[in-house]
Amino acid sequence: MGADDRVHAVWPTVIPGDNPTGAIFYATLAPGADRFSRRQRVPTPGTPKPSHPQVAVDGTGRLSFAWDQIVGGVRVAAVNDADAATGGALQFAPAVRLGDSGPTSYPVMAPLARGVVVAWVSGPPASGVIMVKRLAAGSSATAR
């Protein structure tokens, strides 16, 4: 929930069709509203099955998103952030991989007054370590 008492939700789903594809969607519930906004797709480069989505709202109202997915045969965690545009649609920053190389997964975030703290697992499952990085609002490009 953001400082303005809006509820923010993000979830993975499969878009049916001849070539079903996975996607992450976002919606918000305004105070006093009885239904969520129209869903908006969160841009996720990589394979069609992004997983483990997270959303956090910092003290400035900026939204940050995190998830993991397979890219080039390796599971990677990624983040991006977004600002509300006219009409309520979000404008997303480019997604940025967490970590420099190798597998990364299970990102989680905690909001700050300005930006977020993101943690993720780096390395193969049997020997992974927890990594932590502070991301200032609008600076997901510095997540490496």
In this prediction the pTM is 0.88
Question: 68 pLDDT band (50/70/90 cuts)?
Answer: very high
Q: How large a percentage of the chain has pLDDT more than 90?
A: 56
Residue 104 pLDDT exceeds 80: yes
The per-residue pLDDT for 40 is 94
Q: Write 3-11 long-range contacts (CB < 8 A, 24+).
A: 3/57, 3/59, 3/61, 4/31, 4/61, 5/31, 6/30, 6/31, 6/57, 7/36, 8/55, 8/57, 8/63, 9/36, 9/55, 10/42, 10/53, 10/54, 10/55, 10/65, 11/53
The per-residue pLDDT for 144 is 41
Weakest mean pLDDT among 17-21, 95-99, 131-135: 17-21
The per-residue pLDDT for 86 is 61
The per-residue pLDDT for 85 is 67
